[in-house]
Chain A
Amino acid sequence: MSLLEIADLRVNYGEIEALKGVSLAVAQGEIVAILGANGAGKTTLMRTISGLLAPRGGTIRFDGAEITKLGADRIVQRGIAQSPEGRRVFGTLTVLENLRLGGFTRPRGEIMGSLDFVLGLFPRLAERRAQFAGTLSGGEQQMVAIGRALMAKPRLLLLDEPSLGLAPIIVQAIFRSLREIARTGVTILLVEQNARMALKLADRGYVLEVGRIVLADEAKRLLASPDIQAAYLGGESSAHRV
């Protein structure tokens, strides 16, 4: 049985249909990537899973139980945390306050272990723990966003474009951290425009086009597919790009 199972999910913004019946599954321990052009509905999907948007139809099941109608706070309690698109760190709170808030749903005594793990994963944050998160660089803010999500000790980590607007070297560092996070047993659902990095990391991938899943396959096969290369990897000529 899959950890996350989404069936026929439909989400609207007023009259606009952003998701037109999306179905997908993520197994325990997997890394799954979702690719898609701007406006395909990737962020809509992530926000709906986290309970920030109410679907018009379809179901979301997590660990066998339906969570479609749960409030966002309850979904975090169930074990799904998200690092949202654009990072959304609390700029006028310190790095440490941001991270602590990530563990808001857990007993106070239990979050120390997670804090040590996060600060070990991102030593830069340890140095800057007393600094306002809004004064950090983009890469450091992304670390805060991911670290904050990890503080919830999630079983499923949702990542919406962790590489957005970051320099290639920082992107590589972030992806190395993701690999390390996955090794601890956390299941990851990753949305990326940087399809090559995402597919290299992922076990499987889905391609989302204007609200529909049009392709699902193993990451290796997607990476090799000429269609995918043409549409999302910038074709053969630029295959060396990150």
Chain B
Amino acid sequence: MGTFIQQVINGLTVGGIYALIALGYTMVYGVLRLINFAHGDLCILGAFVGLTMLSGALGGGHPGPALVLLAFVVAVIAISVAGVALEFVAYRPLRKADRLAAVVSALGASMLIENGIMLIWGPEVRVFPSGLLPATTWHVAGASISFVEVMIIIVSVVLMAALYGFVNHTRFGTAIRAAAIDQDAARLMGINVNRVISSVFVIGPALGAVGGLFIGLYYREAYFTMGWTYGLNAFIAAIIGGIGNIPGAMLGGVLLGLFNAFAAGYVSSSWQNAITFALLIAILLIRPSGLLGERVAEKV
């Protein structure tokens, strides 16, 4: 029973992170029918920006939690700006071009960011400083949950609830959904679709930066190829939930996190990737468009 609860805690933590990152894939796909392959790298760029803030860029003497909060704020702002710039430079000029051109551009942007991280922060694994956040650990029914895990779970839930409310209950959120359904019809409503697209490249990377920094704080390390590893998992989460569908990305992230945790806890963590893909294949066999997706896979 202790193991079970422990895996649920681990799964929700990782799942929350996957979900935050998966939202960026799904929202961009929703409005542009494009897989932003650079998204995972943007998220990890967020982790590195945060790391720089945490490892004394401001000089010593600041209280840990305040420093962590500041790291989040700076990472979110930096990665949002990077996201908008990415869309402007890599995707907007190709909006009317062949779909393959945008895919190649996305892969190129991914490599560029990854190598940029390596040039700035080096190729080695960078360790996150310790002692910034309370080391408190609570014990419940034979399982333990740390402060960082509680923080990740709560913040993920709050951010997802906020996004859900924004997209479903505000005028601009409705405009985003409309543009995802039919861009020309959205234009006829007076919606500036370019602004909608930019907003998606702010929201997705902002949530992704939080996710990326969570990864750094949780595993206490960051390395330049990490965007690929976590990006792939989050992307799979988005597909499991139904790519393009916002609640789907949340559900897919949490499900995949739980599944990974149980695989690591009961089977072996070396089987984790195999089990992830088995889950993906099983779900796509039953529901080709993902758990909450309506469209059967169309244009790639």
Assess whether A72 is interfacial by the CB under 8 Å rule. yes
Residue among A88, A105, A152 making CB contact with B185, cutoff 8 Å: A88
Contact of A51 with B187 in the complex, beta carbons under 8 Å: yes
Assess whether B155 is interfacial by the CB under 8 Å rule. no
Give me 10 A-to-B residue pairs in the complex whose CB atoms sit less than 8 angstroms apart, sorted by A's number. A52-B184, A72-B188, A72-B190, A77-B190, A84-B184, A88-B185, A88-B188, A97-B174, A101-B175, A152-B190
Residue among B177, B188, B191, B193 making CB contact with A82, cutoff 8 Å: B188
Contact of B178 with A84 in the complex, beta carbons under 8 Å: no
Assess whether A93 is interfacial by the CB under 8 Å rule. yes
Q: Tell me the complex Cα distance, A4–B181, Å.
A: 30
What A residues does B181 contact at CB under 8 A?
Answer: 90-93
Residue among B171, B175, B178, B187 making CB contact with A72, cutoff 8 Å: B187
Q: In the complex where A90-B182, A92-B181, A93-B181 touch, is A81 in contact with B188 (Cβ < 8 A)?
A: yes
User: What sequence of 0s and 1s flags, for each residue 88-111 of chain A, a beta carbon within 8 Å of any chain B beta carbon?
Assistant: 111111000100111011001000
List the A residue with the shortest CB-CB distance to B194: A71
Contact of A104 with B171 in the complex, beta carbons under 8 Å: yes
Contact of A90 with B188 in the complex, beta carbons under 8 Å: no
A residues near B (Cβ < 8 Å) are 47, 50-52, 71-73, 76-77, 81-82, 84, 88-93, 97, 100-102, 104-105, 108, 148-149, 152
What B residues does A102 contact at CB under 8 A?
Answer: 189
Residue among A92, A93, A104, A108 making CB contact with B190, cutoff 8 Å: A104
What B residues does A92 contact at CB under 8 A?
Answer: 177, 181, 294
What B residues does A77 contact at CB under 8 A?
Answer: 190
Of A71, A76, A90, A105, most B-chain CB atoms within 10 Å: A90
CB distance from B89 to the nearest CB of A (A): 21
What A residues does B190 contact at CB under 8 A?
Answer: 72-73, 76-77, 104-105, 152
What B residues does A108 contact at CB under 8 A?
Answer: 171
Contact of B171 with A52 in the complex, beta carbons under 8 Å: no
List the B residue with the shortest CB-CB distance to A72: B187
Chain B: interface secondary structure? helix
Contact of A100 with B178 in the complex, beta carbons under 8 Å: no
What A residues does B177 contact at CB under 8 A?
Answer: 90, 92-93
Q: Tell me the complex Cα distance, A134–B44, Å.
A: 40
Q: Tell me the complex Cα distance, A97–B187, Å.
A: 15
Q: Tell me the complex Cα distance, A61–B266, Å.
A: 71
CB distance from A204 to the nearest CB of B (A): 25
A73-B191, A97-B174 known; 16 new pairs, CB 8 Å cut-off, are A47-B184, A52-B188, A71-B192, A72-B187, A72-B188, A72-B190, A76-B190, A84-B185, A89-B185, A90-B185, A93-B174, A101-B175, A101-B186, A101-B191, A104-B191, A152-B190
CB distance from A36 to the nearest CB of B (A): 21
Of B177, B182, B185, B186, most A-chain CB atoms within 10 Å: B185
Q: Tell me the complex Cα distance, A89–B185, Å.
A: 8
Q: Tell me the complex Cα distance, A77–B189, Å.
A: 9
User: What sequence of 0s and 1s flags, for each residue 188-210 of chain B, a beta carbon within 8 Å of any chain A beta carbon?
Assistant: 11111100000000000000000
Q: Tell me the complex Cα distance, A148–B174, Å.
A: 14
Q: In the complex where A90-B177, A101-B174, A104-B175 touch, is A73 in contact with B185 (Cβ < 8 A)?
A: no
Contact of B184 with A88 in the complex, beta carbons under 8 Å: yes
CB distance from B53 to the nearest CB of A (A): 38
What B residues does A50 contact at CB under 8 A?
Answer: 187-188
Q: Tell me the complex Cα distance, A90–B184, Å.
A: 11
User: When A and B form their complex, which 6 residue pairs have the shortest distance between CB atoms, in order from nearest?
Assistant: A76-B190, A105-B190, A72-B187, A88-B185, A73-B192, A101-B189
Q: Tell me the complex Cα distance, A148–B186, Å.
A: 11
Q: In the complex where A52-B184, A84-B185, A88-B185 touch, is A93 in contact with B191 (Cβ < 8 A)?
A: no
Contact of A76 with B171 in the complex, beta carbons under 8 Å: no
Contact of A104 with B185 in the complex, beta carbons under 8 Å: no
User: What sequence of 0s and 1s flags, for each residue 160-175 of chain B, a beta carbon within 8 Å of any chain A beta carbon?
Assistant: 0000000000010011
Contact of A104 with B189 in the complex, beta carbons under 8 Å: yes
Question: Which B25-59 residues sit within 8 Å CB-CB of chain A?
Answer: none
Q: Tell me the complex Cα distance, A88–B186, Å.
A: 9
Contact of A76 with B188 in the complex, beta carbons under 8 Å: yes
Q: Tell me the complex Cα distance, A207–B181, Å.
A: 34
